[in-house]
Every structure is written in structure tokens, then in C-alpha cells.
A and B are shown apart, each in its own frame.
Chain A
């Protein structure tokens, strides 16, 4: 099945586990007890440790490098230099590596301070490798550098990547580099009012708790690797092209529990290059090699929204928005980025849009999807809508409802579209905002900006934003399910990364309901490599792909079980045994709570466990029990399926986003210190169908905390003179603690059924974290009556906005 474009035509009639709260997490005990293994925990006999040289400069080339002292340092086993003639000039590091194409696995030129490059030292311990790194003496050719997109755009600015981009720092690479809908000139002419403003988002990064690392071991010509990676299939694919070619069937891949990356790791050389080097040295030394990055080295990239956004918005004073023009000047977009007006296009009736992205190279790390690549688009929608509401003196919720729609079409057409696709025509936004408003007492609490001072002296503010709920994953999933011998339990087979969103439970719940098994009889270990992959990471809302594949495989398997139940068993050339259910057809049977039953009389049945019988060398046909089917040999019960999807990534034929999300925030601002207190958050997400509600809530909590953390504190700070990163540690780069989201977070799920995923589901993984990142702005505006369009919103910026400095 491909690209489901309509409502799920064949959902289940009843759900047992799907929608249930609180299934026992498959990974829960491992993680709570410290027994979960991560790549960083891997230790193999004789293992060596690899550490990389880091560039002390933001833009520099190695002129000479003396590694002799490092070579002879006690405990060092190998020093890999970038100019080693056996290293290839280019190696496949992953598709979509942007400017790098296929880069060298170890570069001699650094493009940002702290970039791992030049040399790698391999030693018997990490400490020794680090000590030896300090003995490497490099003569650098320092080059001029850029830290800021605006100055890098100017004529005469130094080149940030002269080898790749000798003409300018501008790169036109986006999927939706330029997006046009209607005619903005016309729209502005029709508008009662036009405003222009600018929004600035400073760079922030993923902060994955488990530091980047990997282990490579050769067993003869078999390559065995452990990787911290969100996309293990990429590892296998790229690895198969290295070292003159390694057959796919000679690669043993381990993708253990993942200590989160939120993107970050996606498809960049610093992910695969070290693995290449580790494999290279492992071959030379005959020992397993583990490479690790320090916490400082994990700051090697950023999210995709760093930049300046310039808006021109035309609207009527009743809140109808007619035209939006946006030029976004964003840094280092090595991944094709969605246009900043994309969410306005997808979710509203605004007829005239024009968005242009300028992707500008500067000497910081690459900008990669970091919960997520839709940040520019959601920040823009929030900025535009909240400004228009303020200018019109209107409640922002009303402005949202007024402009809700899709691709320039209004509510009527939207409803028609929903019905045409077989969905119920539910006004998702209306339902979301009504629930959200009730939860936060919006109607009582919202007020005109800057008009409410509390008894405690602080100014009170209410913020709101919204957009579509998305899950348009581009990719494929292959899933197999096997019924185990002896006890009839089901194993889902497909490799993917488990970074904690509890996807595996969700897939088990689908399989259990589809197969008719008890939930405790279904299990899924995504760390096993059966040779095929599900879409990964699930935090990128891959349920819309994987869910289908699980379902297809389950339905095929169920049919297979029922067919086997009515067929003769133990069939050989000499004869066969009676079926388990003689005189029945498959459609007469069902599976309920792991028992195959007759529909006509569910008390008559045989458990799946008994049906599949034993496995083993002594063979299943060993029983001396008398009586028919208990002698039987059932065929192996196994099925596989797959799903392919292009979703919205196909600009020719996008799927309209039908469901919505709405988020509300209540804040207090201390006008003497500029401090912002988050009093209450309400998240409302229309997920179509909440297959695993607790997993959805986890994304709401997690997304809120990350979003507010980004809004309040997160910024990568560079010394303007030397380009050195100043806060590359977890003390100076601040992520929220448990005390920093002061008030409660209310999580509400709406289930309109208007999703393209199985059972009408829509994803949630990226959504809340991305949208919440911009919500502090409107909330603070409502409190103090002044816009702060430079995020993060620190106390300093509040004080400045209040005119106190």
C-alpha cells in the first residue's frame, strides 16, 4: 500500500488495546533499573578508544601536522591522519549531506570551531587518547570567518566554505526555496492594513544525553558495528560502500537503546566519518575501536531556525489575513528545508503567499533537523498570527479560527475536501481551541496586551498559537511478524532506533488488536537486525508509515493463521493429519485473547500456543497423545509487509493536513528583573486516533519543556572576535530543570479520526516541541505590551523592551 490519500477504509470495528492507557512499557524496566544498554556502555575485549582532534579556529586549514609524539606516547596504538594516503578522498556518508556531497571521512579543513577533524588518536584508554591528542602539533592557516547570516550575505564578506562555494555564501537548496501562492502584490492592495516586522531566532541545539559514539569490530570480513544513530539503515547502506565494498549480508549492525538526539545526528559527516575511521583503524590494529565525542564535541551543529525572518503582512481589521510575504535568512541549511510560509500555506485560507529562503553559510556547525525542520514554518505562523491579532485588537484564538483552512481555501472548501477524502468533516481547530480555552480559563483570563498587573507586582500574560498536526514522513517501512513455537507469542521483526517515544509498545498494541492476541503475548525488540528496517526515528512521527506496515503484516499473518487452522497439518508425501478445525473455513474463525475460536461458538477453541506446538530438533511430531489435531505440525507462521509514503514531501500531490493542534500559555513577567514565570501550559493535539495515549502525552510534556526551554534560555554563544564557542557545556548552555516550567502542563488529546495513518491517526512526535518553541513571544507580548522578536527571551531582553536599559 502506498501513500494513503484517504480515510482508512478498513479500521477495526472494536479496539481492545489500541487507545488503552498505561500498557506496560517494553523498555520501562530496563531503563528504570539501569539495565538498558546504550552504545556508550559497550565494552569489548581488547577494545581501543578513538578521540579526534578538534579545530581551535572557526575556519582554518591544516598546513603541517606533527603527530610523532602522539604516535610514541605510551598506550597509543594508532594515529590516523587526514592525509593518510589510504583514506579515500570521498566516502559515502549519507544522502542529503548538503554541501558536503560525499566528503572525506577525515577532513583537513575546519569550518567551525571545535570541528572534529585532522587526526584521530587510538589508544588503550580514553584518557591516554586525550593526553596524546595534546601532543599533536599543528600549524594552521587561519582564514576569515562569518558568524552571522546578515554579515555573511553582504558583498565582500569572506567566504565561509570557499572550496565548496567559491562565489558566495548563499546556497539555493530548499525543497521549497521559493513558495508562491496567489499574488502577494494583489493581496497587499486589497488589505486594510499592512505591517512589516522582523523576527530573530538565535542558534540552539539538540543536547542529546548520550554523547555521539560508535564501535567497530571486524570478524574476518564481517563488519560488526554498534552505533548511536537514529537511522540504522543508513549506517548499513553507507558502510556497504566503504573499504572497497562490504556485502550487506556481511554487516552485523547493533542499534541499542538510544540516548536521544532529536535529529541532530541526521545524515551528517560527523556521524558517519568517525565510524569510517574506526573501521579503518580496527582493520589496521585487529582490535575493536570505539570512538566517542565529549559533551563539548556534541555541540557541533544546530537546529534549522537560526536566522532572521522578515515579514510583510496584509490583513483586514476584522482579522482576515490576505497576504504574507516572508524572506527568511537562515544559517547552514544542509537539509532541504521547508519554506517559512509553509505552515501558513498548509493550514490557512490566506490566499496570497510568497516566501523566499536565503540559506547562508556561516562558520558554525551544520543546521540539521532538530525537533524539527519545521521550526522556521511554525515560528513564522506564530509570529504572523499573533501580530495580526494584536494589530486588530482581537483575541488571537478568533483570528486563528477566522483564517483556518488549507492551501488558501476557507472552511467550506476545507469541509468539502475532508468529505471528499472520506473523512468526517470535523472542525478540528474549533474543537482543539474550545477544549484548550476551557482548560486554561482563556475567556476569563485573556486581556488586551500590557493591561493586567497582578497583586504580586508582576504583569500577567496569555499566549496562544496553533497550526496543523503533521506526520508527513517520507519513507518506507518493512515489518515482519512471527508466531513463536512453544508458546504462540508474537515477535515483531524490524530494526529501528528506540529513542524513547515508546513506539514499540504502540506497534505491539496494533499487532495485538489486529491479530487478536493478548498484549502481553506480543513483543518487539527493535535492536535485532532481521535485515530490514522500519522507518526511524519514530519521534519523527513515523507512526504514519510504520503503523500501516504493522497492520498489513498483522492482517496477512492473521489470515495465514486461520488458513493453517483449517488446513491439513503435518503434510508429507506419505500423508497428513487432520486440521485443527476440520469442516471450517477461515472466515468461520477468529482469534480472541490469543485463542483461535469459532465465531459461532467462541467457547470452542485452541490457543495459539497449543496450535503452533513445539519447535526443536526432535521435531514437533513426537507426541504420543491420541486424538487428531494434537499430533499436528503447523507450518511456520510468519508474514511480512511494507508501506511506502511520500506525504507532503511530494509537492505535486500533497496531502492536505486536516487536523490541528493548539497551545496555550499563561505567564507572569517580573518587570523589575525581566524574569518570566510559566504559570500554566495547555497542549491540545488532534491526533486523529490516540493509539497509545501515554506515549502522546509524553510528547506533549516533553515538547512543552523543550519548547519553553528554547524560548527562555537556549542559545549557542560564540566569541565575536575569535569565533570560539563560549558555552559548549551544560552549565552555560541552559536546558530547563524540573523547576523551570513552574506551573502544571495540561495535556489534552482530540480524536477526530481525520488522519491518514491507520485508524485515522496522525503523528505527534515533532509537533509540540516545534510549535511550543515560539509561544513565549506572544505570551510575553500580552503581558508587557511590547514585542520581543529576538529569541530566546532572556531577562535582559525583557528589561530592554520595558525601557529600563
Chain B
């Protein structure tokens, strides 16, 4: 610490000096905190994968913050945190959306589906993904699965081009794009012919 630097045990608000940083901190909490403005919070109910969750959320928390950090549904991933990669995709109101760019407080009452829910239902997409090795490091994979599932919920006759367009917002650094198209095409076939081997068939609305 430079000579002219301010001693760390001097209160930054009233300049009183203390013996230690800890003593100074205690002073700040007593003398200057006073009436803190209350954290503006909202109470919301989220229905995630069919289960209701009742939460008190800060306005600034994104849906990803709540799902991943607070509810422990760690399947959704955060690659870019700016809406540019698709790794945090969840399905809300039947649409593939980016949970890192949605405020949780605005999702009160919404039904949300995450990759965990898709796996719990044994959706045939999961097996197709495993079979065709549509993953390497796996970090982007949940985002692809949810986006693909939202596509198949709307359309079980997608062309190869339609699949690529729909997945064009999902970044994969390991470069697994070719395998995703194959996996989704195969899943669409399974859904059309009702041949979801040994697994429950996915319902149209997820």
C-alpha cells in the first residue's frame, strides 16, 4: 500500500479512525446503515416441468438466475449471458426463449419447460442425441435439445433447412452442428410413426 494511500480502517463516510478494518465495518453497519431501503422484491409462482415453485425474487434476477442458481435446475447453461448463444434456452408459452434475457419477475404464473423436464418425459429427442453423438463438451447441448423440442412440438415434418434455421441461434464451439440435424430428423420420424422405442411418446404441447 502506498504511503499516501488512505488507511483502510478509516470510515469512508465520517472519517473516524478505528483500530482495525473489522471494527470500522461494525461501526459502518451501526452508524451509517440505518434504514436501508428495502430490497424491492416480488413474489411469483413458476410452473417448471409441471411443478409449482413459489419464490420471492429481486427484480434484477433473470429467469436463468432463478432456474439455475436458486432452484438447482442446472441443465440450462450460460455461455454468453447476452442472448447471443442459445445455451440458456427454455420453453415458455410453447416458444423457445432465452432465460438469461428474461426477468424472472415477469414470469409469474408461466409454464416453463427445461431440459430436465424433457428428459424426465423420456422424449425421444434425448435418445437420438445420444445415438448420433450430437454433443462433445456438452455445454451447449441442453440449449439445442430445448430448441429442437420446441420445433418438434410445432412441426413434426421439418426439412433439413427448417431444422438448421431453427437451430441457427444456438452456438456450438465444438462444431457438432451436422449431428444435430441428423438427430432431429430421426426424432421427427419417430414421432410421426409413433416409434418412440420403449419410451413415452411426447405430447404435442410438451
- The proximity string for B residues 151-180 relative to A, scoring 1 for CB distances below 8 Å and 0 otherwise, is 000000000000011011111111111111
Which of B21, B80, B125, B171 makes the CB contact (< 8 A) with A737? B171
Which stretch of B40-48, B81-89, B188-196, B198-206 is in the interface?
B81-89
Q: Other than the known A66-B6, A209-B173, A737-B170, what 7 A-B pairs have Cβ atoms closer than 8 Å?
A: A32-B125, A34-B73, A64-B1, A295-B79, A729-B80, A729-B82, A738-B170
Query: Smallest distance from the beta carbon of B83 to chain A beta carbons, Å?
Result: 8
Chain A residue contacts of B77, Cβ below 8 A = 38, 40, 209-210, 259
Check A52 for interface membership: any CB of B closer than 8 A: no
Interface pair A259/B138, CB less than 8 Å apart: yes
Interface pair B131/A83, CB less than 8 Å apart: no
A25-B130, A738-B167 known; A499 vs B137 contact (CB < 8 Å) = yes
A295-B80, A729-B80 known; A72 vs B28 contact (CB < 8 Å) = yes
Interface pair A33/B115, CB less than 8 Å apart: yes
A32-B135, A33-B75 known; A71 vs B25 contact (CB < 8 Å) = yes
Interface pair A698/B136, CB less than 8 Å apart: yes
Query: Smallest distance from the beta carbon of A64 to chain B beta carbons, Å?
Result: 4
Interface pair B12/A259, CB less than 8 Å apart: no
Chain A residue contacts of B175, Cβ below 8 A = 701-706, 736
Interface centre among A34, A69, A81, A259 (most CB of B within 10 A): A34
Which stretch of B91-99, B102-110, B139-147 is in the interface?
B139-147
Check A56 for interface membership: any CB of B closer than 8 A: no
Chain A residue contacts of B5, Cβ below 8 A = 64-66
Chain B residue contacts of A43, Cβ below 8 A = 69, 72
Chain A residue contacts of B84, Cβ below 8 A = 729-731
Q: Which of B9-53 contact A (CB under 8 A)?
A: 10-12, 21, 24-25, 28-29, 32-33, 36
Interface pair A34/B137, CB less than 8 Å apart: no
What CA separation (Å) do A396 and B6 show in the bound complex? 68
Interface pair A738/B173, CB less than 8 Å apart: no
Interface pair A34/B136, CB less than 8 Å apart: no
Q: Which of A491-522 contact B (CB under 8 A)?
A: 499-502
What CA separation (Å) do A74 and B118 show in the bound complex? 39
Chain A residue contacts of B6, Cβ below 8 A = 64, 66, 68
Interface centre among B25, B69, B85, B135 (most CB of A within 10 A): B135
Q: Which A-B residue pairs are the 6 nearest by beta carbons?
A: A34-B75, A31-B138, A702-B175, A500-B136, A705-B175, A33-B119
What CA separation (Å) do A729 and B79 show in the bound complex? 10
A38-B139, A65-B5 known; A730 vs B25 contact (CB < 8 Å) = no
- The proximity string for A residues 661-698 relative to B, scoring 1 for CB distances below 8 Å and 0 otherwise, is 00000000000000000000000000000000011001
Interface pair B4/A32, CB less than 8 Å apart: no
Interface pair A260/B114, CB less than 8 Å apart: no
What CA separation (Å) do A306 and B84 show in the bound complex? 26
Chain A residue contacts of B174, Cβ below 8 A = 260, 500, 698, 702
Chain B residue contacts of A81, Cβ below 8 A = 1
Chain B residue contacts of A605, Cβ below 8 A = none
Chain A residue contacts of B167, Cβ below 8 A = 738
What CA separation (Å) do A27 and B80 show in the bound complex? 23
Interface pair B116/A735, CB less than 8 Å apart: no
Interface pair B173/A72, CB less than 8 Å apart: no
Q: Which of A552-590 contact B (CB under 8 A)?
A: none
Q: Which of A714-756 contact B (CB under 8 A)?
A: 729-731, 735-739, 741, 744-745
For B114, give the chain A residue with the smallest CB separation.
Answer: A34
Query: Smallest distance from the beta carbon of B118 to chain A beta carbons, Å?
Result: 8
Interface of B is mostly: loop
Chain A residue contacts of B145, Cβ below 8 A = 32-34
Q: Which of B63-83 contact A (CB under 8 A)?
A: 68-69, 72-82
Which of B24, B137, B168 makes the CB contact (< 8 A) with A738? B168
Query: Smallest distance from the beta carbon of B199 to chain A beta carbons, Å?
Result: 12
Chain A residue contacts of B78, Cβ below 8 A = 40, 211
Check A220 for interface membership: any CB of B closer than 8 A: no
- Chain A positions near chain B (C-beta within 8 angstroms): 22, 24-25, 27-38, 40-41, 43, 63-69, 71-72, 74, 81, 83, 127, 206-211, 257-260, 262, 294-295, 499-502, 694-695, 698, 701-706, 729-731, 735-739, 741, 744-745
What CA separation (Å) do A703 and B129 show in the bound complex? 20
For A24, give the chain B residue with the smallest CB separation.
Answer: B130
Chain B residue contacts of A65, Cβ below 8 A = 1, 5
Interface pair B176/A702, CB less than 8 Å apart: yes
Chain A residue contacts of B81, Cβ below 8 A = 294-295
Chain B residue contacts of A27, Cβ below 8 A = 135, 138
Interface pair A33/B137, CB less than 8 Å apart: no
For B69, give the chain A residue with the smallest CB separation.
Answer: A43
What CA separation (Å) do A257 and B79 show in the bound complex? 15
A25-B130, A68-B6, A71-B8 known; A36 vs B176 contact (CB < 8 Å) = no
- Chain B positions near chain A (C-beta within 8 angstroms): 1-2, 4-6, 8, 10-12, 21, 24-25, 28-29, 32-33, 36, 60, 68-69, 72-82, 84-85, 87, 114-116, 118-119, 125-126, 129-131, 133-142, 145, 164-165, 167-181
For A702, give the chain B residue with the smallest CB separation.
Answer: B175
Query: Smallest distance from the beta carbon of B121 to chain A beta carbons, Å?
Result: 11
Query: Smallest distance from the beta carbon of B204 to chain A beta carbons, Å?
Result: 21
Interface pair B129/A28, CB less than 8 Å apart: yes
Chain B residue contacts of A703, Cβ below 8 A = 175
Interface pair A35/B168, CB less than 8 Å apart: no
For A692, give the chain B residue with the smallest CB separation.
Answer: B133
For A768, give the chain B residue with the smallest CB separation.
Answer: B175
Chain B residue contacts of A71, Cβ below 8 A = 8, 21, 24-25
Interface pair A735/B165, CB less than 8 Å apart: no
Interface pair B25/A72, CB less than 8 Å apart: yes
A729-B84, A735-B171 known; A741 vs B136 contact (CB < 8 Å) = no
Interface pair B171/A41, CB less than 8 Å apart: no
Interface centre among A25, A127, A706, A738 (most CB of B within 10 A): A738
Interface centre among A259, A499, A739 (most CB of B within 10 A): A259
Chain A residue contacts of B170, Cβ below 8 A = 737-738
Interface pair B134/A32, CB less than 8 Å apart: yes
Query: Smallest distance from the beta carbon of B186 to chain A beta carbons, Å?
Result: 13
Chain A residue contacts of B87, Cβ below 8 A = 209
Interface pair A502/B80, CB less than 8 Å apart: no
A41-B68, A66-B5, A730-B84 known; A702 vs B136 contact (CB < 8 Å) = yes
What CA separation (Å) do A209 and B138 show in the bound complex? 9
What CA separation (Å) do A694 and B176 show in the bound complex? 12
What CA separation (Å) do A162 and B171 show in the bound complex? 40
For A38, give the chain B residue with the smallest CB separation.
Answer: B139
Interface pair B176/A34, CB less than 8 Å apart: no
Interface pair B21/A35, CB less than 8 Å apart: no
For A31, give the chain B residue with the smallest CB separation.
Answer: B138
What CA separation (Å) do A735 and B60 show in the bound complex? 29
A40-B78, A705-B175 known; A259 vs B164 contact (CB < 8 Å) = no
Chain B residue contacts of A83, Cβ below 8 A = 1
A28-B133, A41-B68, A259-B138 known; A68 vs B171 contact (CB < 8 Å) = no
Query: Smallest distance from the beta carbon of A408 to chain B beta carbons, Å?
Result: 35
Interface pair A33/B12, CB less than 8 Å apart: no
Chain B residue contacts of A38, Cβ below 8 A = 74, 77, 139
Chain A residue contacts of B72, Cβ below 8 A = 43
What CA separation (Å) do A206 and B76 show in the bound complex? 22
Query: Smallest distance from the beta carbon of A262 to chain B beta carbons, Å?
Result: 7
Interface pair A262/B173, CB less than 8 Å apart: yes
List 20 A–B pairs whose Cβ atoms lie within 8 Å, in order of A's numbering.
A32-B145, A33-B116, A34-B119, A34-B145, A35-B119, A43-B69, A64-B1, A64-B5, A65-B1, A72-B32, A209-B85, A500-B135, A702-B176, A703-B175, A730-B82, A737-B168, A738-B170, A739-B165, A741-B177, A745-B178
Chain B residue contacts of A702, Cβ below 8 A = 136, 174-176
Interface pair B141/A31, CB less than 8 Å apart: yes
Interface centre among B75, B145, B173, B176 (most CB of A within 10 A): B173
Interface pair B135/A209, CB less than 8 Å apart: no
Which of A68, A257, A294 makes the CB contact (< 8 A) with B137? A257
What CA separation (Å) do A741 and B137 show in the bound complex? 20
What CA separation (Å) do A729 and B100 show in the bound complex? 15
